[in-house]
Structure formats: C-alpha cells, structure tokens
Amino acid sequence: MPTYKAPLRDMRFLLNEVFDYPKHYSKLSNGADATPDMVEAILGEAAKLCEDVLAPLNLSGDLEGCHFENGVVTTPKGFKEAYNQYVAGGWQGLSHPAEYGGQGLPMSMGLIKSEMMGTANWSFTMYPGLSLGCMNTIMQHGTEAQKNLFMPPLVDGRWTGTMCLTEPQCGTDLGQMKSKAEPQADGSYKITGTKIFISAGEHDLAENIVHIVLARLPDAPAGTKGISLFIVPKFLANPDSTVGARNAVACGSIEHKMGIRASATCVINFDDATGYLIAAPNKGLDAMFTFMNTARIGTAVQGVCHAELSFQGSLPYALERRSMRSVSGKKEPDKVADALIYHGDVRRMLLTQKAIAEGGRAMIYFAAQYADHMVNGIVEKDQKKYEHWDDKLGFLTPILKGFLTELGLEAANLGMQVFGGHGYIKEHGMEQIARDARIATLYEGTTGIQALDLLGRKTLIMTRGKAVRDFTGIMLTFCKNNALNSNMRSFAWQLSKLAAQWNMLTVRTMLTARKDREIVASASYDFLMYSGYVTMAYFWAVQAAVAYEKLENGGAETPEFYKAKIQTAEFYFERLLPRAKGHIAGIVASPKSLMQMGNDDFAMV
C-alpha cells in the first residue's frame, strides 16, 4: 500500500513563494496569529498526525468497514483512538473562533490540514470534516443562543455534525422533499422524515451528533421555496453544552458502498425529533448553501488527495519494478530489465498524476484565500465584503469540485495502470484509491450538477458572463506582466488566446440560449471541463513563472525542485491542455443529436 508522506515542499512553495500567504495573512483581521513560524509548526504537526496515525489505518479501515447492529454504528479498529488524538491536538477548532474554544486561525489553514488528512485517510477525515460545514452554518445563520449552546462542543470535537438533505424519493431535486416540521409551544419543532446518504450520520467517535436538517413547515409553499433549516441533535443539549436526553433520531441502516467503506453512510430517521429553526422560515435552502459550498470545496480537495496518494504509490513502484527494455536502448544494462519509469507511457501516467495533484493544489490554495476573505466578512459583520468574496469563490467552486474530482479519479485509475495486474489487488492499496475517488464525482452534486451550476447559474443567469470576464482579467494581467519574459512568452501567449476564447464561448452560449434553452444543458459538461483545463493552465503558468524567478535569484528550494516545476508545467501545456480544444466542439454543438431520439428508442430489447 502507498506510504503517505505529506508533500510539505510543495505546500511551502505555494504558501510562501507563489501566493505569499504571510502577506495575505497580515491583511486579515484574524490572521495575526498565522505567522510563518506558527504555520510551519502546524504543517509539521499535522504531517506527523497524518503520516503516523491516520495513514496506517487507511487500508485496515477499508478491509474492516463499519459495523451496524440495532441502530449502533461501530467504526473500524483504531478509528476511535485516532479521533481522540485528533481532538486532543485541538485540530477541529483550528479555524474557528476563540470565543467558542477554537484557535481562530484563517479558514485556509483548515483546508490545508484537511488536504493532508484526506490524503492519508479520506474515510476518517469525513467524520470531523462534516462538522466544519455544520459549524459554519450555525456561525452564519444561528442565533447567539444557538451559537453559545452548540459551537463549543463542536469546536473542540466532543460533538460532530452532519447535513441531512437527500430523501429516498429525491436526490438533488430538493423540491420533492417531504420531511415535516411541526411548531411547538416552546418555540421548538417536531421533525419527522427519513434522510439518506448521511455521511457520518451515526458513529462511536463522539458523544453527540448535531444534524442540520431540511424540512417543511405546515404552511410552506411547494417546491424549493418552502424549505426550512433546523438543528436536530442526536442527544438534546443541556444549557451548559453537555449531553442531555436522547432525541428521537435513529440510524435505520448503513450503506454497503463501493469505496470509503470506513465512513458510515447512514439512513437517518426522525420521528417527532426535537429541532430548532435556524435562519428564516422557508429560507433553509439559501442557508444550506453555506454548508454546501463548504462541502464542495472540501470535496474538491478530495480530487487532489487521491491524485497525490496515487502518485505517491505509483512513483516508487515505477522506480523499482522492472519490465522489458526502453525503446531507446538499455537504461540499466546490469539489471534483468529496465525500471518502468524509463518507458514513455509510464512517464506519461506519472506526469499526469503529478500535474493533476500539484496543479489542483495550486487551484485550492488560491481559492482558499478567497475563502479567508469571505469568512473575514462574516467575522467583521461586513455583509458587502462577505458577498463580494462569496461571489468570487462561488464562481470557482463548481470548477474546483467538478473538474478536480474528475481528474482525481483519472489519476487514481492511472495509479492502478502503472501497477498493471498488481494494481487490481487489494494488498497494494491502489484499487482502494480508485474506489474511494469514485464517490467524489457524485456527492455534493454530481459533475453534471456542478456543470449546470457553473454555466447556467454562475455564468449566464447571475453574472451574464461577468464572472468569466473577471477571472480571465486576472489571466490577462499575468500575461501582460510576462509578455517580455523570454522564459514565459510561450505560456503567456497561449493563456492570452485561451482567455479570449473562454469569453467568446461564453458570449456565444448566451446568444444561442436565447433561441434554444437546451444548449445550457447540452454544453454545460464540456464548458465545465474546458474551464477547468484553462484554469489549471493559468496556475501552472504562475508556478512556472515563480520557479524561473527563483532559479535566477534564489529561493527556499533546490534548483532541481524549480526545474521539475517548469518541466511539469511544460508537460501540462503540451499534453493535457490540448484536451480543452476537444471540449469546444461539445460547447458549440447543437443539442439536436442529444435530444432527437425518442425515449422508447433508447432500448434495444
């Protein structure tokens, strides 16, 4: 199985040399404590936790899975002890307010920690990971009393949280939701309904679980406009945030899944359970987007995690395993055969994994700065600031979630391919990465849903193309600043053409949609993937520019590190970026070939 080592060199490169996080933190009202020394200490300690505690449980947790009996879920051996270490280290409250027991550091520190944890053991990471969205929702939409009651135990990890949206009769289409909320004389509500696919909905790691639940009030209008949001704890909370009486919340079963088998995915039944309204009545879906956007960024990180872990498994195997001779002649004449890494197609797969992991990490770290500013708006109670950065992050979110999870799955599959037949065998751990990666393209909105959100909602409806123009403006500024740099001229020229093309495709789709609305659905997937390849190209160009500058003027890393960055950027532009061109055909194609076949004509029997 892959032996996980935190990619601290690459993390430091992005934090200190590419995105200048020390300067970024100095401008945040909650960034004073995020000094370079503090960040370095957090990186080091998080790496130890992930390498020494979480990673060793990844394969064993997958083999054992979760146990369910009479409504009780037991996590795999070692998970509870690992969670206790996680809580004791104060990791849950890393980026949450000190007034509730957290460390008050910027949100980006939590995302960076989550990447390390997720790469080491994604199933484990989901238990505390779901709590982050729960806490963010309560922080933004809860009353002061709700914050004071629920935040302290959530922040210190004694309690965990979930989000309960999906029901048996509906998935993404929450307008079909049936769960009910009946108001009570004391101001609480009785929640009744069944929710499915609830990650970490029941487990033995924490003493309480706080569910964030969507349900309908008796007088609610039909559809999505009649959905409200409620806090429904497994155990009722005493005034001092200790555990009280058991609530009418029960786990009906757990799912038997393809991957993430050590993470309990539950059916949760609410039978007149006591709940508390959060946010305004019938505005629950709007409030839930706080949770959803947090979850989608976290899922985007999963794409990077699986690409990184798969690469870390593939590279040592390609260096050690010998098979045949290189087509250009013997590379290891004293050996029975040459190592796999000398074969061109194996190098293609390794470089693809490396480009996806490191390019995706750069995309996440850039977006994390937007998230820091957005959260700062909440902390400072500056609604305009919050909305400004929320809009900027909102445009990137579907690209990050949809594109990076698709490429993370590709990287995981390539890891199996490098191993050949051994990649299909459990003991090597590569097939587990592929199984775990598969869910990332599905939950928190499938790739198709992300694509509709990007093209239909974020690009055409909400901004009339402005979101694309704003981001391509960043790209064009970079191109202008590097136009006379001989090392960067090729990168800048290609990026400038892509920026113009991205805007042209956006305008063309808007004009076509006026006559044929079906174009939005038929073009959305290709628009998402095109946007992803172009966005990653920009971040690879940025990394190359920094690497060239450091080679000339000196940096924190070795010359070989910077040369490898430049060479990976060249590989991406030459071998992966051309895929964007193929997606253009799907964007501009008429919807006719998709829609003309009759429903009954799909069947052949």
> Which are the catalytic amino acids?
444
Residue whose tokens read 């990168």: 491
The answer to whether the beta carbons of residues 86 and 156 sit under 8 Å apart is no
The answer to whether the beta carbons of residues 452 and 521 sit under 8 Å apart is yes
- At 216, the amino acid letter reads R
Dump strand ranges (E) for 184-310: 189-199, 208-215, 228-233, 235-237, 243-246, 249-254, 265-278
Instruction: Report helix, strand or coil for 193.
Output: strand
**Angle ∠(79,80,83) on CA atoms, nearest 5:** 85
First to last CA, the chain: 44
Instruction: Report helix, strand or coil for 216.
Output: strand
Instruction: Report helix, strand or coil for 206.
Output: coil
- At 474, the amino acid letter reads I
What lies within 8 Å, CB to CB, of 142 at 6+ separation is 150, 231, 278
Helix, strand, coil percentages for the chain (3-state, nearest 5): 60, 10, 25
Burial class (CB in 10 A: 0-12, 13-18, 19+), 240: exposed
**Chain centroid, CA 512 distance in Å:** 32
Work out the angle between the directed axes of helices 489-515 and 518-553 (0-180°, nearest 10): 170
Maximal C-alpha separation, the chain: 84
**Angle ∠(361,366,370) on CA atoms, nearest 5:** 135
Between CA 404 and CA 10 the distance in angstroms is: 18
**Angle ∠(434,435,437) on CA atoms, nearest 5:** 65
The answer to whether the beta carbons of residues 103 and 93 sit under 8 Å apart is yes
Between CA 256 and CA 97 the distance in angstroms is: 37
Residue whose tokens read 């520190």: 109
